[in-house]
C-alpha cells in the first residue's frame, strides 16, 4: 500500500488542551529525555554512565524515554534486553513501539513521513518494521508492556510543566516540531500549541534532526527541545547521539548548545557511545543491502549535514 508509512493513524492523535491536564511530579535535579535510541544498547550504556557521573557529582537524574527506543534491535536477545532495560524508567510511546504492540492496522512503520521524504526511505522503514514485528511477536509480555505505555507525559519539574511527547502536540507521529518546520517558520503554530497545552517546555523527537527553540508566548518564555536521535549521529561528521538535558542548574559544559528560561536550563548533550562495537553488531543484524543498512549505515558512520550551532532557533521574540 502506498499509504503505509505516510499516513497518521487515528490512534496517534490527541488534543493539545489535554496534554498537561494531569502533570506528574518528578523529584530529581536533572531530566534526561531520550528519544530515538533506535535499539542501540551501546548508547544506553553511555547514557547510564553519564547519569552515574551526575549522581557522583551530587545530582539525581531521572531517565525519560519518549519513544522509538526500538528499531535496529532485530534479534530475540537484543529485543528483550533492550526493552527490559528501558522499561525500568519513565517511558512514553513512539510510533515504533505502538506498531510493535499493535501490528495489524496497515500503518507500516507509523512514521507519517511527509512528502519531502523519499519513497525509498518510506518503503525501507516499512520493511524494518515488518522484520521487527516478527521478532516482537515472540515476546508477548513485552508487547503488553509497550501497549500499556502512555502517548505523552507532562512532568512537573522545578515548578514547570515539562511536556514530553514523541512527535508534536497533535499527533504522536506529527512533524510539526521537526527541524524543517522551524526553518520554514512555525511561530503561529507554536503560539497556539503552547497556549492550548499550558506547557512551559516541550521535549520531542521522532523527526531525527535536533533543534532548540526559545520564544515568548503570553508573556512567558517557552522552550522546545528536539534531541534528534539518542542512538544515531545527528550532526556533520559526528557519529554521537544526542539527548535533551533539562536541569535546575546551569551546568552546560558538556552540552553542545543550551537555552535557559523560567529557572531551567535545556540543552542537547552528546552521547559518545562505542561506535565501532555498535557498527559491528549492526552489520551482523543488518548486512549490506538490507533495508536498515541502505537507509542508515552512512548516518551511523558520518552523522548528518547539519553543523553545530545551526539547530538553535532562539531569540525569536
Ligand atoms: Fe518516531
Per-residue pLDDT tens for 90-115? Answer: 999 999 999 999 987 677 888 888 88
For 164, the 3-state DSSP assignment is strand
Model pTM score: 0.95
Distance 254 CA to ligand 1 centre (A): 26
277 Cα to the center of ligand 1, angstroms: 24
CA of 173 to the centre of ligand 1 (A): 6
CA of 219 to the centre of ligand 1 (A): 32
Dist. CA 94 → ligand 1 center (Å): 5
Number of structural domains (the chain) is 1
Q: What φ, ψ does residue 304 adopt, rounded to 5°?
A: -115, -160
In the numeric block, the cell 544506553 is attached to 44
Nearest to 174 by CA among 202, 149, 144: 202
- Residue 12 is given by DSSP the state G
Predicted pLDDT of residue 315: 53
Any domain includes 127:
yes
Rg of the chain over all Cα atoms, to the nearest angstrom: 18
From ligand 1's centre to the CA of 167, what distance in Å?
7
**Ligand 1 geometric centre to CA of 101 (Å):** 14
- Full residue range of the structural domain in which residue 48 is found: 10-14+28-150+227-313
For position 1, what pLDDT does the model report?
Answer: 43
- 192-211 confidence digits (pLDDT tens): 999 999 999 999 999 989 99
Distance (Å, rounded) from C-alpha 267 to C-alpha 259? 6
How many Cβ atoms from other residues are within 10 Å of residue 227's Cβ? 28
Q: Is residue 289 part of a domain?
A: yes
Mean pLDDT of 262-273: 94
Distance 165 CA to ligand 1 centre (A): 10
Q: How far is the CA of 141 from the centre of ligand 1 (A)?
A: 22
CA–centroid distance, 174 to ligand 1, in Å, is 9
- 3-class DSSP state of 272: coil
Ligand 1 centroid vs 218 CA: distance in angstroms?
30
Residues belonging to the chain:
317
| 3-class SS of residue 152 | strand
In the chain, what percentage of residues exceed pLDDT 70?
A: 97
65 within 8 A of 194, measured Cβ to Cβ: no
What does the pLDDT look like over 113-145, one tens digit per residue?
888 889 999 999 999 999 999 999 999 999 999
CA atoms of 217 and 262, how far apart (whole Å) = 13
* Cα–ligand 1 centroid distance for 16 (angstroms): 19
Cα–Cα dist 111/172, whole Å: 9
List, in sequence order, every beta strand (DSSP E) within the chain.
24-25, 30-34, 61-65, 90-91, 152-157, 160-165, 201-204, 210-217, 220-227, 241-247, 257-261, 264-271, 312-313
Tell me the CA–centroid distance for residue 122 and ligand 1, in Å: 12
> At CA 246, angle to CA 152 and CA 230, rounded to 5?
70
Residue 57 CA, ligand 1 centroid: distance in Å: 33
Q: Which residues contact 150 (CB under 8 A, 6 or more apart)?
A: 92, 93
**Residue 307, all three cell numbers:** 553543523
Dig out the grid coordinates for 181 from the structure.
518546520
315: how many CB neighbours lie within 10 A of its CB? 10
User: Is the predicted pLDDT of residue 317 greater than 50, yes or no?
Assistant: no
Q: How confident is the model at residue 252 (pLDDT cuts 50, 70, 90)?
A: low
CA–CA–CA angle 304, 309, 314 (5° rounding)? 125
Ligand 1: centre distance to CA 166 (Å): 7
CATH of the domain at 134: 3.60.21.10
Cα(151) to centroid(ligand 1), Å: 12
Residue 242: inside a domain, yes or no?
Answer: yes
In a domain, residue 221? The reply is no
111 part of a folded domain? yes
CA of 7 to the centre of ligand 1 (A): 13
Q: What is the 59 CA–ligand 1 centroid distance (Å)?
A: 30
Measure 284 CA to ligand 1 centroid, in angstroms: 24
Q: How remote is the CA of residue 4 from the centroid of ligand 1, in Å?
A: 14
Among 45, 29, 100, 7, residue whose Cα is nearest residue 245: 29
Q: Give the span between the Cα atoms of 123 and 129, in whole angstroms.
A: 10
Which residues contact residue 29 at a Cβ distance below 8 angstroms, ignoring those fewer than 6 apart?
A: 54, 59, 60, 61, 247, 248, 249
Residue 306: CB partners within 8 Å, gap ≥ 6?
Answer: 179, 209, 210, 234, 235, 236
* 97 assigned to some structural domain: yes
- How many Å lie between the centroid of ligand 1 and the Cα of residue 107? 13
Residue 183 domain-assigned (yes or no): no
Residue 286, domain member (yes or no): yes
pLDDT at 259 exceeding the cut of 90: no
Amino acid at each position: 500500500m502506498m499509504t503505509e508509512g505516510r499516513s497518521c493513524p487515528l490512534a496517534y492523535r490527541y488534543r493539545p488542551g489535554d496534554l498537561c491536564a494531569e502533570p506528574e511530579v518528578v523529584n530529581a535535579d536533572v531530566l534526561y529525555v531520550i528519544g530515538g535510541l533506535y535499539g542501540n544498547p551501546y548508547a544506553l550504556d553511555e547514557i547510564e554512565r553519564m547519569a552515574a557521573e551526575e549522581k557522583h557529582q551530587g545530582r539525581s537524574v531521572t531517565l525519560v524515554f519518549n519513544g522509538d527506543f526500538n528499531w535496529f534491535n532485530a534479534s530475540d536477545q537484543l529485543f528483550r534486553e533492550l526493552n527490559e532495560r528501558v522499561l525500568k524508567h519513565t517511558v512514553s510511546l513512539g510510533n515504533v513501539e505502538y506498531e510493535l504492540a499493535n501490528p495489524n492496522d496497515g500503518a507500516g512503520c507509523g512514521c507519517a513521513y511527509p512528502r519531502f521524504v523519499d519513497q525509498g526511505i518510506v518503503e525501507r522503514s516499512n520493511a524494518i518494521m515488518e522484520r521487527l514485528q516478527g521478532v516482537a511477536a515472540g515476546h508477548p509480555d513485552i508487547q503488553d508492556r509497550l501497549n500499556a505505555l502512555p502517548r505523552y507525559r507532562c512532568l512537573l519539574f522545578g515548578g514547570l510543566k515539562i511536556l514530553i511527547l514523541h512527535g508534536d502536540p497533535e499527533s504522536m507521529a506529527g512533524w510539526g516540531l521537526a527541524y524543517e518546520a522551524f526553518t520554514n517558520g512555525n511561530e503561529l503554530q507554536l503560539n497556539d500549541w503552547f497556549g492550548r497545552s499550558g506547557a512551559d517546555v516541550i521535549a520531542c523527537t521522532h523527526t531525527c534532526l535536533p533543534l532548540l527553540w526559545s520564544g515568548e508566548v503570553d508573556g512567558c518564555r517557552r522552550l522546545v527541545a528536539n534531541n534528534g536521535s539518542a542512538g544515531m549521529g545527528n550532526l556533520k561528521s559526528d557519529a554521537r547521539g544526542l539527548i535533551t538535558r533539562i536541569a535546575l542548574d546551569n551546568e552546560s559544559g558538556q552540552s553542545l548548545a543550551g537555552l535557559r528560561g523560567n529557572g531551567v536550563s535545556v540543552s542537547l548533550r552528546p552521547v559518545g557511545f562505542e561506535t565501532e562495537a555498535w557498527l559491528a553488531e549492526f552489520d551482523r543484524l543488518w548486512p549490506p543491502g538490507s533495508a536498515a543498512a541502505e537507509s542508515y549505515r552512512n548516518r551511523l558512520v558520518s552523522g548528518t549535514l547539519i553543523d553545530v550551532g545551526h539547530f538553535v532557533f532562539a531569540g525569536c521574540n
